């Protein structure tokens, strides 16, 4: 009897036997585990039509009370490469998503974000890279094979997933600046070629598709127009081990090797999650003149505000050390979003937020950004106001020092169009909200939001 001939009830039992062992809570908490579980379940769906149908039924059973297990959220983010040790027989994302595209299945359309993890290249697994003696005895090591492997995977993924909006590059404090006798920039050039090829392909595909579509139904807007404009438009630098190093140093000595890869990306939104890249990286990104939104998370705010502040007044001292965040980049920005927590630090953060420090840092960072129109500050639902900022008795009142800082924000020469406080404690009561509205009279939209 063949696999395809099994009765659906039995196939469902097999799915349950294989995949029920991982609880929904585990899948919520452990991102790497969720990704590999998803990859395995979906690869099992690919056995044949009957397994595909039952697999979908199994997934919808799992997702019923848990929205984070819906297909769209399971497939939202894909990490590549997962691990260099995987054998060829194990399922891989590039394979799965390419098959999905080939067979006109929905999987590849759900992928919105690609996590690029270069640790197998920049932090090779063995303590001593294994050198391969050549005839001319110049030493090369296996990183070049690894790069080729990653480049091929990335090319496949980018070609398969038309709705990819974000690319996340993992910064790691253990990355080593040099790869044997290769310059890292050379090492990553294969990868940057793969990315630029995929982008070219994506735009030509899109134009062809759009043109063809236009020819037939000129009255309806083609849904992928927006997809083409947003393809890889959101670049995220993230550090998974924020404890290891302060954000300023996460890229020290190696992140210039990303330059060939970054210059192809059509980035309009740059997000820094506990990472402050080197000046050369930020300069490279500023060159495209496309970046209009900066999102900063976690511990970056203190450094970013300091570096922006020092950069704005041009003293003699400054000529020797140019500011980390180039004014060229700051002057392009129209939107700034500040999150006071990182995506990776749920369990580390204490729950109070010092409003005074927060608005001071915010003021410092936006001071040199003349073009800024929208400013949004995101707290977390569970923040409480710290006693230092409240009234003396610990009543959660926004005190005078905080209002003075807000006044500075309100009086800046280049008024904002929108100022939003989301989950920032202390602004819940209507009188405080109207006081805020009155302070920011020049601003079209002043909003205080609390997620329920």
Tell me, yes or no, whether 23 lies in a domain. Answer: yes
Of 69, 99, 122, the last residue of a domain is 69
Whether residue 213 is predicted with pLDDT greater than 80 in this model: the reply is no
Task: Pick from 59-63, 168-172, 339-343, 353-357 the range whose average pLDDT is largest.
Answer: 59-63
Euclidean distance between CA atoms 33 and 26, whole angstroms = 8
Choosing from 31, 52, 69, the residue where a domain stops is 69
In this prediction, residue 172 carries a pLDDT of 79
62 within some domain: yes
Tell me, yes or no, whether 17 lies in a domain. yes
* Last residue in a domain, options 40, 69, 98: 69
Does residue 241 register a pLDDT over 90?
no
pTM of structure: 0.86
Mean pLDDT over the full length of the chain: 82
Tell me the sheet residues that pair with 296: 272, 338
> Which of 271-275, 372-376, 428-432 ranks highest by mean pLDDT?
372-376
pLDDT tens-digit readout, 157-184: 999 999 999 999 998 767 765 554 455 5
Residue 201 binned pLDDT confidence (cut-offs 50, 70, 90): confident
Give per-residue pLDDT as tens, 57-69.
999 999 988 888 9
Residue 443 lies inside a defined structural domain of this protein: yes
The confidence score (pLDDT) of residue 340 equals 85
Q: Exposed e or buried b for every residue in 315-347, given b needs 16+ CB within 10 A?
A: eeeeeeeebbbbbebbebbebbbbbbbbbbeee
The boundaries of the domain holding residue 42 are: 7-69
324 pLDDT more than 90: no
Q: Is the pLDDT of residue 349 over 80?
A: no
Residue carrying the six token digits 């630029």: 196
Give dist(CA 233, CA 182) in Å, integer: 30
Q: Which residues does 407 contact at the CB level (< 8 Å), separation at least 6?
A: 439
Partners of 167 in the β-ladder: 114, 235
Residue 223: the pLDDT is 41
Taking only the tens place, the pLDDT of each residue in 250-263 is: 888 888 889 988 98
> How many structural domains does the chain have?
2
Q: Is the pLDDT confidence value at 283 over 90?
A: yes
Q: Is 212 within a domain?
A: no
- 185-199, 281-295, 297-311 — which is least confidently predicted? 297-311
38: tokens are: 């998803």
Domain assignment present for residue 168? The answer is no
């Amino acid at each position: 009897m063949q696999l395809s001939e099994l009765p659906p009830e039995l196939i469902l039992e097999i799915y349950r036997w294989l995949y029920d062992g991982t609880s929904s809570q585990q899948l919520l908490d452990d991102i790497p585990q969720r990704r590999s579980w998803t990859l395995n379940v979906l690869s099992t769906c690919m056995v044949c039509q009957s397994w595909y149908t039952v697999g979908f039924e199994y997934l919808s059973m799992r997702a019923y009370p848990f929205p984070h297990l819906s297909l769209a959220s399971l497939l939202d983010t894909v990490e590549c490469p997962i691990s260099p040790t995987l054998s060829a027989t194990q399922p891989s994302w590039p394979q799965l998503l390419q098959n999905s595209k080939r067979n006109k299945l929905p999987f590849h359309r759900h992928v919105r974000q690609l996590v690029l993890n270069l640790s197998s290249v920049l932090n090779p697994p063995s303590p001593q890279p294994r050198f391969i003696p050549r005839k001319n005895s110049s030493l090369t090591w296996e990183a070049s094979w690894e790069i080729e492997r990653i480049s091929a995977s990335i090319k496949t993924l980018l070609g398969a997933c038309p709705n990819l909006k974000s690319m996340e590059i993992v910064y790691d404090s253990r990355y080593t600046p040099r790869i044997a006798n290769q310059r890292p920039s050379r090492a990553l050039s294969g990868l940057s070629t793969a990315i630029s090829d995929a982008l070219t392909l994506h735009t030509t595909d899109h134009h062809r598709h759009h043109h063809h579509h236009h020819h037939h139904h000129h009255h309806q807007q083609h849904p992928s127009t927006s997809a083409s404009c947003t393809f890889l438009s959101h670049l995220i630098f993230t550090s998974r081990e924020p404890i290891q190093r302060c954000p300023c140093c996460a890229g020290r000595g190696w992140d210039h090797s990303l330059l060939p890869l970054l210059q192809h990306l059509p980035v309009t939104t740059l997000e820094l999650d506990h990472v402050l890249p080197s000046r050369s990286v930020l300069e490279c990104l500023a060159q495209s003149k496309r970046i209009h939104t900066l999102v900063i998370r976690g511990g970056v705010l203190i450094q970013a505000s300091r570096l922006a502040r020092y950069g704005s007044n041009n003293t003699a001292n400054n000529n020797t050390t140019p500011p980390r965040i180039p004014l060229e980049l700051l002057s392009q920005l129209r939107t700034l979003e500040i999150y006071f927590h990182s995506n990776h630090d749920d369990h580390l953060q204490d729950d109070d937020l010092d409003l005074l420090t927060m608005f001071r840092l915010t003021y410092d960072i936006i001071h040199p950004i003349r073009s800024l129109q929208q400013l949004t500050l995101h707290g977390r639902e569970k923040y409480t106001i710290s006693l230092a900022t409240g009234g003396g008795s610990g009543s959660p009142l926004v005190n005078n020092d905080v209002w003075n800082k807000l006044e500075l924000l309100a009086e800046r020469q280049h008024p904002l169009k929108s100022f939003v406080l989301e989950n920032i404690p202390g602004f819940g009561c209507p009188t405080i909200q109207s006081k805020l509205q009155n302070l920011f009279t020049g601003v079209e939209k002043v909003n205080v939001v609390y997620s329920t």
